[in-house]
Amino acid sequence: YVRGFKMQVMRSHGPALTALGSTAGRVPWGAAQRRRFAEVFDRTLGVSICSDDLPEPDNRVELHPSLVDGDGLPAPRMVYRVGANSRAILDAGMARARELLREAGAHELFDMPLIRDAGFHLMGTCAMGDDPETSVVDRWCEAHAVRGLHVIDGSAFATAAALNPTNTLQALALRVADRIAGRA
């Protein structure tokens, strides 16, 4: 694979989420509940793997064919599938997480599936570039087709890294704001 992943170690959850199986599988109700709860509560941790997702031609945001908002306008719909490179990154990250946990002395390991509709940063739907034929906004996030219209969000990014984009988005917004105000 190309690019990489981030490993995030998280403490165990509180009693209610632990009982519902948030980190170590569902705690059974009945006679075994107290014993199993004592084994896992405050004695578990999770290692989350976040991959650097490359642009995939089939991944996109589009208008839903039938769902509408309160004004009758078509609602947006995210179309996303994990590409081969991203799957390879996730698999490699999970293997390293298992290795880390075994070395740390874990006696039980639980693989959790990819969580649907969680952890995604929608990016790249409004490409930034100098060429209006291949991009929507210029380097200052100003639309090529509509002068004065600035699109300042993650849609101008080419791809989503394995890290949260908030700081980069804030820097981009400040950069563009300075340009609009005539300070850049």
Instruction: State the catalytic residues.
Output: 121
- Cβ-based burial of 93 (10 A; exposed 0-12, middle 13-18, buried ≥19): buried
Residues pairing with 46 in the sheet:
10
Strands (E), 12-129: 45-51, 60-68, 74-79
Q: Are strands 74-79 and 5-11 parallel, antiparallel or unpaired?
A: unpaired
Q: What are phi and psi of 149, to 5 degrees?
A: -95, 120
Can you state the percent helix, strand and coil of the chain, rounding each to 5? 30, 20, 55
Tokens standing for 7?
A: 């490993």
